[in-house]
A = this chain, B = another copy of it.
Amino acid sequence: MTAMASAYDTPSADDSFAPMRFLGTVIRRDVLLAARRRGDWLTSQFFFVMVVSMFPLGIGPEPEILRMIGPGVVWVAALLASLLSLPRLFAEDFRDGSLEQMLLSPEPTVLVTLGKALAHWCIYGIPLLIITPVLGIQFSLPAEAIGVLVLSLLIGTPILSLLGSVGAALTLGLRGGGVLLTLLILPLYVPALIFGAGAVDGALSGVGYSAHLSLLAAFLVLTLMVAPWVAAAALRVSLE
């Protein structure tokens, strides 16, 4: 047996950086895959812009009304943008068999779900933050409100990606998964929506926004601690 063991240099498992490295790998992998399609990155931003731009067309051009609904519209659009891109989070890897391979990795599955959620945020969340100020201008929001809007999205969009990964993992196996995703995840999104849009409303009306933002941040920390584990468990169940 010793001869055999030497034929295979089993990588040492006691490398304390391994989890971080693996997390980085998962994130880089997804970002690379998204970058392969040059369109993908820009496309997600334009999707967001378009959804936001549709509302004035449906509602009418009066600036006062638009200013009032602006923050809510931007937040709902961010939420929808994440929701629409989420089903693909695991589905493609599932179909072509590479999700199985990821679960067969020696590293814990929770790193896979965390990594994929963070990659999702890099791909869909960050561009969204960059484009938001332009949309704020379209809704004639004052500069301070735009700043708060971006800040609230900066804290809020990772929540959407993390919670969404739970939904995506559940959707994967179950037949009625589509409903579950919407049914379970949208209500979970509600606090983010209320705190986020509320902060901007507070800035607009002069009531202040720091309380809302701190609550949002607390919600983010909670999500970060819980969601990847739940998603990992859901993934294992879905792949059985």
Residues of A within 8 A of B (CB): 34, 36-40, 42-44, 46-47, 50-51, 54-55, 57-60, 65, 68-69, 71-73, 75-76, 79-80, 83-85, 87-88, 92, 95, 174-183, 186-187, 189-190, 193-194, 197, 201
Contact = CB atoms under 8 A, between A and B. Distances in A.
Contacts of A176: 34, 37-40, 42-44, 88
A170 to B, nearest CB: 11
A69 B76 contact: no
Contacts of A181: 43
B39 A179 contact: yes
Mostly, the A contact residues are helix
Given A54-B186, A59-B197, A175 B68 contact: no
B178 A40 contact: yes
B43 A72 contact: no
Nearest to A180: B43
Nearest to A79: B54
Contacts of A95: 95
Contacts of A83: 47, 84
Contacts of A71: 58
A87 B59 CA distance: 27
